[in-house]
Amino acid sequence: MLRGMATVSYFAADLPAAGRWYTELLGVEPYFEVPGAYLEFRVGDHQHELGLINSKFAPAGTSTDPAPAGEILFWHVDNVEDGLVRLLSMGAREHQPVTDRGHGFVTASVIDPFGNILGIMTNPHYLELLAGR
């Protein structure tokens, strides 16, 4: 079911400052932006996506204080609804319901039986990269 890492997301109350910090750290500018809400970078040899999200869009219950927490790694799946049903049937608890993020992105997340947050998504950028190989 899991086909590969789609996007790792980090929340930031000050998105412009986080964007500057990650631009300096990574040595690249974001390649995709939803003004005031989201910045996305291509990272590493496989050009994985690292997304910075304004913390006002964090799912309920997500810690967005300076303590370590807040990121959700999303794995690309062909159908988020079917993936969520399967994960729930295997004993996971819903963390965030299926959510249309716009621009072709759909996400959901669960807490696995061991307490970890597992994100799944359809991600047109992942599919474009895969198609180009």
Q: Which domains does the chain have, with CATH numbers?
A: 5-131 (3.10.180.10)
Distance CA 46, CA 117 (A): 23
The yes-or-no verdict on residue 69 having pLDDT over 60 is no
The yes-or-no verdict on residue 67 having pLDDT over 60 is no
Nearest Cα neighbor of 36 from 55, 20, 50 is 55
Measured from the Cβ of residue 111, the count of other Cβ atoms closer than 10 Å reads 16
Q: 64 falls in which pLDDT band (50, 70, 90)?
A: low
Token digits of residue 46? 């496989």
> pLDDT tens for residues 18-60?
998 889 878 899 999 999 999 999 987 678 898 989 989 988 8
Share of the chain above pLDDT 90, in %: 47
Q: What value does the mean pLDDT of the chain take?
A: 87
In this prediction, residue 80 carries a pLDDT of 97
Q: 68 falls in which pLDDT band (50, 70, 90)?
A: very low
State the SS3 of the chain. Answer: CCCCEEEEEEEECCHHHHHHHHHHHHCCCCCEEECCCEEEEEECCCCEEEEEEEHHHCCCCCCCCCCCCCCEEEEECCCHHHHHHHHHHCCCEEEEEEEEEECCEEEEEEECCCCCEEEEEECHHHHHHHHCC
In this prediction, residue 63 carries a pLDDT of 59
